[in-house]
Amino acid sequence: MFALFAGSIIIEMIGIELWLIRPIIVVPFLSFVPGYLVLRILQIEPRDTVTGLLYAIGLSLCFLMIYGLVLNTVLPRLGVGVVFNQIVLFITMLTGIGGLFIIYITQNDTQRINVTAFVDKVWHPWPLAVLCLPFLSVLGARTVTRFGDNTLILAVLTGLGFLTVAAYIGRLPKKYFPITIWAIAVSLLLHNSVLTHTLAWDVGKELRLATVVIENGVWDPTVGGRWMKNAMLRIVLLHPIYALLADIDLVWEFKTVSPILFSFAPVAFYKSYQTVIDRSDAFLAVMLPMSFYSFFTVLSVNSRTSGALLFLSLTALAVTDRTLTHRKGRVLMLVFLFGLIVSHYATAYLVLFAVGLVLLGNWVLFGATRTRKYVRTAPTVVILFGLLAFVWYVFIVYDGGAFNRLVVEFYNLSFDLWRDLVEGGSVVSAEDSTTAQYATTTYTSNTIRWLKSMNFALGILAAVSIAVLGLVHLWQRYQKGVLGDISSDASIARTEYFLYATAFLGVFGITFVGVDKLSTARTLMPALMFFAPFVILTPRRVLKLLGDHLNRSSLRTAGKALALTFVLTYFVLNVGLYGAVTEEYHPNILIDKERVVEDGSLAEKDYFWAMHYDTIYDIKGAAWLDSRKHGDGNDEAYYRYSSRKVISGLYNCTNLARQPIERQGSCDDEPVRSVDRMDKVYASAGSHVFYNGSR
């Protein structure tokens, strides 16, 4: 691996172009090899290959961020003014990872990676078939972008649904569940990230910070003043390291490497779910967070949140993996919590709130003494996590800018909760809740209405199981007493996971009150990732108990069918399969570019522009515009409307009959020229629409 890594970079440095070969070698090397070496040096024995691979990726990313921070601090003091360029990074990374390898071999560790066994596992029709899905997903996305045809991407999304059914009813061997989950995750993430040539939402700010690091050659914490994002090493160090060493354009590093790294998070949660449910139910449960629209529309490019959730999933895995000793398990947990801190401050504070509740629950169920000895979320872990989060964002952010923001936002959150829950006020009304309103507060469709209801149902189903299990745990501790016999490691892990799910269900519940700082994309995703197995448990357990009581096996089967139907419905609505067929607004609207741009409603066009501006749409339109511009040299032969309001107003004045269920918009935003004197042309900037004046 070292020879391939070094050789691929050296060959291109001397002028021989390797194209995709270099990133195909460098990205896996950086993502797994350093972490694997750290695992072996620490003599950590994961319970299986998949768990070891997941730990390796988390440790590798933490190593790259910490090592990059050390280089950024030390090298300028030694006279090296440019740290982040290909040559310096190559030499220093090869030295650092080589040092890990030397330590590894000096320990006389005889364990080696069995490549042959890995190939034997993959070389089978099922894994080979599911590994084709990400490639088909990318091809389908490019077909939408280039030719306006979404047939292939709709077929891929439909195939993911059928694959879920096959896995749940036992047609897919369980040993292939992890690779199938990963393939589904990659397919969903990449299908959205490659549909557009720019970065939507506020990811442009992340790109700007990473670009500044590469342009300056060093990371400067003072860039942007009191900008919290500049303290997130996931943005300012990991992106430049991958982009420079793998020789990937920074935009496409965001759009490919970042989602591929995040795709391992569902696999880690799948492994954690097996603490409370069996493998088939765990597979179905992990489809819930992967189905949620922000998984593939926001987190496919938003690297700071997706990075934090990846480390959160690894934290959950370290909590539930009881094959590790308590000391090694807590070490891994702290390392992953550090990775979470330097990935996204808001997620770190949410998790800090959750681990505090878990610690309190552990005290109640096991007692303070036994909490320190037997559980992973021990007082030392929580205290160190809190100190790291506080110190990093208070002292690393320029001029202590994070402190005031932290205090003000905490005060506002507490004040809103007090007014809404205790005093019954309406500082932020329930009607403004981002979760209750799902993806919009100004327009809707059948898809959105049903998904709002399903969001409520998710919380209710999870709350039923969690409430029942919580009463059982409390009753058992009451019978045994705090000093009673301690449960087995497996039982403690199950209880601790239950406490995490309870804490995050509480965070999710707060969003229904209407606290505007806790947006759906920020809170429902981590919460759903934790309480998803309890959503599946409720129909399964209720109908099983009823079937046992009435001696009706059909009722037991009905519970399984009901859980599958719920998850599939959630998936179909979120990914836009129903909306694309019925031609209505849905969260994954980008797959409907052709319809939206040609005949979409005002609401769809507005949302399309906001999410996916500057998307290449029509090659013929671009060629036509170019010929008009350069053919007669008259720049006034066309007009460019880059304003979202002008575009929406113009479209709304074309008398389109189809509108959302709740009609929207008016003709207040008149274009500068009469609509009947303009011909529609879609150029290469996509939702920036050009109009040629008739002569």
CB 52 within 8 A of CB 46: yes
Say what the pLDDT of residue 171 is. Answer: 92
Residue 365's pLDDT band (cuts 50, 70, 90): confident
Length of the chain: 695
Residue 87 to residue 81: CA distance in whole angstroms = 13
In this prediction, what percent of the chain has a pLDDT beyond 70? 72
Identity at 339, one-letter amino acid code: G
Residue 236's pLDDT band (cuts 50, 70, 90): very high
Say what the pLDDT of residue 125 is. Answer: 82
Domain boundaries along the sequence of the chain:
600-693
Helices within 274-399 (DSSP H only): 279-291, 293-297, 303-320, 326-341, 345-366, 368-374, 379-395
Residue showing tokens 């990937």: 248
Say what the pLDDT of residue 490 is. Answer: 78
Q: Is 267 exposed, middle or buried (0-12, 13-18, 19+ CB in 10 A)?
A: buried
Q: Read off the pLDDT of each residue in 659-671 and give the average, rounded to a whole number.
A: 41
**Residue in 670, 673, 674 with CA at minimum distance from that of residue 649:** 670
Higher pLDDT, 676 or 385: 385
Say what the pLDDT of residue 137 is. Answer: 96
Residue 383 has pLDDT above 60, yes or no: yes
Using DSSP, state whether 412 is helix, strand or coil: helix
**Residue in 378, 402, 397, 387 with CA at minimum distance from that of residue 319:** 378
Higher pLDDT, 555 or 288: 288
CA atoms within 13 A on the CB side of 539: 20
Q: Read off the pLDDT of each residue in 470-477 and give the average, rounded to a whole number.
A: 77
CB 435 within 8 A of CB 512: yes
From edge to edge, which strands make up the β-sheet containing 689-693?
638-641, 689-693, 678-681
Residue 597's pLDDT band (cuts 50, 70, 90): low
- The whole-model pTM stands at 0.87
Residue 339 has pLDDT above 60, yes or no: yes
Say what the pLDDT of residue 416 is. Answer: 65
Q: Is 16 exposed, middle or buried (0-12, 13-18, 19+ CB in 10 A)?
A: exposed
Pick the most confident of 96-100, 298-302, 611-615.
96-100
Q: What is the pLDDT of residues 178-234, one digit of tens each?
A: 999 999 999 999 998 888 655 666 787 888 889 999 999 999 888 766 678 888 999
Q: Read off the pLDDT of each residue in 464-487 and give the average, rounded to a whole number.
A: 73
CA atoms within 13 A on the CB side of 692: 17
Q: What is the pLDDT of residues 295-311, one digit of tens each?
A: 998 888 889 999 999 99
Higher pLDDT, 477 or 262: 262
Average pLDDT score, the chain:
80
CB atoms within 10 A of CB 388: 18
Higher pLDDT, 610 or 504: 504
Residue 169 has pLDDT above 70, yes or no: yes
Pick the most confident of 202-206, 210-214, 632-636, 640-644.
210-214
Ranges 196-205, 277-286, 442-451, 544-553: which has the least confidence: 196-205
Structure tokens at 279: 């493998």
Q: Read off the pLDDT of each residue in 487-496 and give the average, rounded to a whole number.
A: 81
Residue 370 has pLDDT above 90, yes or no: no
Say what the pLDDT of residue 369 is. Answer: 74
Describe the crossing of helices 401-417 and 379-395 by its angle, rounded to 10 degrees: 120
CB 37 within 8 A of CB 111: no
